[in-house]
């Protein structure tokens, strides 16, 4: 988890936050580790989610909650930018207007006294009825004589309908903060349970699919995204599971990236998100967000790392890469379209009609480079990526670079910016999404499990189809 937390810390924007759902077995170890990486001062709270309303008779103590550790990238920034929760109906019901005050409803039930204070705050007050009162024993006025006087002048002091009750100073609904600070207790009735997510939502949505064991209810993620994000923000779930985070982010108008290791990326997440986009998911937070459908997503298989270290600690090309995979990966990295030619062995891809790329793990001599240069001719240019080369001179139509050195330079490893400059990724209409990893497919089994064209939703269709096309050629 340390590697992942360090990466997430670097990826987060200054006003971003990390929310980790974790059960009791690991929560406390993870807290200590996250404190080290995020800094204890950036720890916001542990929210307690009631994930199970029932009890297990066979347990020593039946586990009914998960912890949600909340960290800010920068606590001060986050405190000023995070959203408040809307007031509940019950909270709003406490504001009434029994005296038809033109300033609107004000909070009932407030008592003008406080539990603590000094003797000075027990001054006598004359009520409109003429009676003179002091706070009850052990209580103190919650206001100073000056505040009471000013409130009387402004008509904000209330003494009951008969003008004979202890004073209170009105707090108008229009003047209090628009929402309330989120609390740490998240009950099942408010945000749902795993069981409800499965039974009431996903089982009905994905009829023929074995349900994911512990899907998060959409209400839970909705609350997190409501507090921590605004429309258009980018949400990352690096352990996507059933895909609830992406589904809710999508319905709430946030952009999202999900990462999932298991096959359910294909069997559960893609069909689920497709239904969300097609407006065919009536469950979860669809009503609450007034979701009607729309948008799209792109789906990528991650290739294994292009480079690995050999036993002497030197960077070498991963043995899992065959020649075609290597050529495709480097085309992607360099912004060339992968399109190996049947006629010219050195044409693996092109950036324009006259600019080509050639990828080889061979070591090229001066003579070989001279031959290449002659074949390319004066009207065309070629980028040559090879394991090594030796040359006494320069060739005006060739640019020769060494892999893996060149790849390492392009990847900017170890710097704070983790955005790989992978230039041939298809561009989504609208805002670009930052990608941190290779998008190329490499494994045979991955190829077999790739979603069909029509498994990919509208917005990403073009880019993903063109990627699929290059694989078919291969
Ligand atoms: C508890 S589930 C997540 C539940 C999910 N948030 C939801 O709402 O359904 C954890 C998921 O992380 C995935 N996972 C575990 N290790 C991973 C890794 N290294 N990279 C990507 N996904 C991983 C597992 O396959 C599993 O689906």
- Please name the residue whose Cα sits nearest to atom 18 of ligand 1: 261
pLDDT digit string (tens) for 199-238? 999 999 998 888 888 999 999 999 999 999 999 999 999 9
Grouping H, G, I as helix, E, B as strand and the rest as coil, residue 174 is: coil
d(CA 132, CA 262): 74
Section 100-113 average pLDDT? 84
* More confident site: 89 or 328: 328
pLDDT for position 412: 57
pLDDT digit string (tens) for 39-61? 999 999 999 999 999 888 889 99
Q: Is the CB of 350 under 6 A from ligand 1?
A: no
d(CA 22, CA 62): 16
Q: Domain map of the chain by residue range? A: 89-169, 307-473
> Of 358, 200, 352, 346, whose CA–CA distance to 283 is shortest?
200
Q: Is the CB of 259 under 6 A from ligand 1?
A: yes
Q: Is the CB of 244 under 6 A from ligand 1?
A: yes
d(CA 331, CA 319): 18
Residues 399/382, Cβ–Cβ less than 8 Å:
yes
> Whole-model pTM?
0.73
pLDDT for position 423: 57
Q: Is the CB of 219 under 6 A from ligand 1?
A: no
Token pair 């007034």 is at which residue?
A: 290
Q: How many CA atoms lie within 13 A of 374 on its CB side?
A: 6
323: left (phi over 0), alpha (psi -120 to 50) or beta: alpha
Grouping H, G, I as helix, E, B as strand and the rest as coil, residue 420 is: coil
pLDDT for position 418: 52
CA separation, residue 243 to residues 265, 275, 283, 287 (Å): 8, 12, 14, 19
Residues 34/19, Cβ–Cβ less than 8 Å:
no
Residues 398/389, Cβ–Cβ less than 8 Å:
no
Q: Is the CB of 145 under 6 A from ligand 1?
A: no
CA angle 376, 348, 302 (to 5 degrees): 155
Q: What DSSP designation does 124 have?
A: -
pLDDT for position 307: 86
436 pLDDT higher than 80: no
202 CA distance to ligand 1 centroid (A)? 17
d(CA 422, CA 102): 61
Q: If you count them, how many residues does the chain have?
A: 474
Q: Is the CB of 82 under 6 A from ligand 1?
A: no
Of 234-243, 311-320, 347-356, give the lowest mean pLDDT range: 311-320
Residues 439/467, Cβ–Cβ less than 8 Å:
yes
439 pLDDT higher than 80: no
Give the number of other Cβ atoms within 10 Å of residue 177's Cβ: 8
How much of the chain, in percent, has pLDDT values that exceed 90?
64
CA separation, residue 25 to residues 67, 371, 436, 470 (Å): 10, 65, 31, 46
User: What is the pLDDT confidence band of residue 8, given thresholds at 50, 70 and 90?
Assistant: very high
Mutational test site, ligand 1, from 260, 265, 304, max ligand atoms within 8 Å of CB: 260
pLDDT for position 392: 80
């Amino acid at each position: 988890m340390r590697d992942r937390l360090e990466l997430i810390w670097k990826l987060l924007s200054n006003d971003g936050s990390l929310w980790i759902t974790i059960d009791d077995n690991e929560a406390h170890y993870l807290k200590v580790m996250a404190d080290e990486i995020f800094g204890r001062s950036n720890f916001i709270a542990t929210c307690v989610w009631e994930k199970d309303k029932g009890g297990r008779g066979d347990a020593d103590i039946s586990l009914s909650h998960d912890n949600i550790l909340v960290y800010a990238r920068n606590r001060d920034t986050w405190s000023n930018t995070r959203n408040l929760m809307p007031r509940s109906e019950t909270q709003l019901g406490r504001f009434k207007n029994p005296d038809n005050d033109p300033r609107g409803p004000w909070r009932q039930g407030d008592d003008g006294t406080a539990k603590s204070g000094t003797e000075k705050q027990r001054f006598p007050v004359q009520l409109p009825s003429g009676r003179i009162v002091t706070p009850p024993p052990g209580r103190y006025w919650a206001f100073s004589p000056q505040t009471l006087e000013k409130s009387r002048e402004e008509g904000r002091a209330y003494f009951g309908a008969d003008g004979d009750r202890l004073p209170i100073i009105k707090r108008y609904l229009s003047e209090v903060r628009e929402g309330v600070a989120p609390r740490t207790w998240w009950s099942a009735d408010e945000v749902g349970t795993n069981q409800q997510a499965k039974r009431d939502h996903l089982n009905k949505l994905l009829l023929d699919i074995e349900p994911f064991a512990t899907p998060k209810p959409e209400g839970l993620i909705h609350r997190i995204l409501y507090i921590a994000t605004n429309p258009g923000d980018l949400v990352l779930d690096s352990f996507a599971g059933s895909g609830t985070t992406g589904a809710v982010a999508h319905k709430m108008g946030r952009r999202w990236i999900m990462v999932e290791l298991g096959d359910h990326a294909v069997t559960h997440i893609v069909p689920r998100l497709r239904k969300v986009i097609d407006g065919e998911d009536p469950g979860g937070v669809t009503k609450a967000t007034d979701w009607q459908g729309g948008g799209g997503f792109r789906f990528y298989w991650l290739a294994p790392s292009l480079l690995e270290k050999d036993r002497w600690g030197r960077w070498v090309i991963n043995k899992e890469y065959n020649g075609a995979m290597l050529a495709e990966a480097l085309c992607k990295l360099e912004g060339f379209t992968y399109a190996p030619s049947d006629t010219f062995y050195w044409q693996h891809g092109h950036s324009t009609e006259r600019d080509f790329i050639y990828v080889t793990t061979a070591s090229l001599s001066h003579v070989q480079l001279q031959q290449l240069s002659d074949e390319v001719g004066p009207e065309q240019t070629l980028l040559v990526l090879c394991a090594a080369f030796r040359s006494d001179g320069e060739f005006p139509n060739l640019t020769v670079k060494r892999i893996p050195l060149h790849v390492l330079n392009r990847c900017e490893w170890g710097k704070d910016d983790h955005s790989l400059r992978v230039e041939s990724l298809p561009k989504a209409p609208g805002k670009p999404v930052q990608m941190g990893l290779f998008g190329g497919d490499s494994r045979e089994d991955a190829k077999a499990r790739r979603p069909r064209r029509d498994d990919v939703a509208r917005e990403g269709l073009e880019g993903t189809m063109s990627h699929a096309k290059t694989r078919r050629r291969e």
